[in-house]
Amino acid sequence: MPRAALPRLAAVAVAAILGATAGLTVMTTSAAAQQLEPPRARQGYYVAVGGYGSVSSINDDGTQRGPLTGASGSLRLGQLLTRRFGLGILIDSGADQDDRRQSTSFAISLEAQREFGHHLTLRGAVGFAFLGLTDKRFPDEPQRGAVAAGYTLGLSWDWFLIRRRLSGGLALTPVLQGRFIPAGPVDSLDTLGAISGLLGLEVTWWTGLPRNQLDLPPSEAFSPR
């Protein structure tokens, strides 16, 4: 892939992810709004900010490098579209290193989640990712980079510190997840890839649902706010 085409690929990938999320949200929200839901903390829109420790193995032109250790952070935005299923955008970046190398990564992905237990959720995301690698022995050399698909799979659990009276609240969310960025063919420009394990904590705010979408007894549904 010519390097001049990388910015265009990134723009197309971001636009496709945002467009898919918007379309799915519009279609599912109109249907979900017609059904009343029992009030609970984990409802409505969400925004989450997280930090993680990470361990990575780098595929460098067919040779595995690592382990590299470091940290990463993320921003997640989305909506629970049904009682258990949600869609959103995941933006994350991080850096790992060992004695000789330092890697950096950035990804923007479409994320789906499915709640299975009491606030226990399986997450999966796919999107556009950038991976860079620097040899610290040669600081004047430019960073090598690759653009590829990025895949994330993990488990999370929301522990609510604050619950709104009817719906929504603030939660601490422990997260365990893996991330995979596949390398391109050897001797191509995209020969870098990575597989990473991440363990961390997010702070998640759930907006909750309005009263007209909640299944409430008449005395509660028509009481003053």
Residue 1 has a pLDDT of: 42
CATH number of 3-221: 2.40.160.20
The Cα–Cα gap between 41 and 10 comes to: 36
Tokens 């022995």 map to which residue?
137
Residue 145 has a pLDDT of: 82
User: What's 183's DSSP letter?
Assistant: -
Give the residue from 13, 33, 206 showing the smallest Cα distance to 121. 206
The domain locations on the chain are 3-221
What does residue 176 show for φ and ψ, rounded to 5 degrees? -125, 120
Residue 166 has a pLDDT of: 82
Q: Do 177 and 139 contact (CB within 8 A), yes or no?
A: no
Query: Which stretches within the chain are classed as H helix?
Result: 6-32, 218-221
Residue 82 has a pLDDT of: 87
What does residue 17 show for φ and ψ, rounded to 5 degrees? -65, -45
pLDDT tens per residue, the chain (225 residues)? 444 444 444 444 445 555 555 555 554 454 444 577 787 889 899 999 999 999 999 888 878 887 999 999 999 999 999 888 999 999 999 999 988 889 999 999 999 999 988 889 999 999 999 999 888 887 777 778 888 889 999 999 999 999 887 888 999 999 999 999 998 765 555 688 899 999 999 999 999 888 777 766 555 545 544
- The pair of structure tokens assigned to 196 is 């990473």
pTM of the model: 0.78
Residue 130 has a pLDDT of: 92
Residue 26 has a pLDDT of: 52
Residue 20 has a pLDDT of: 52
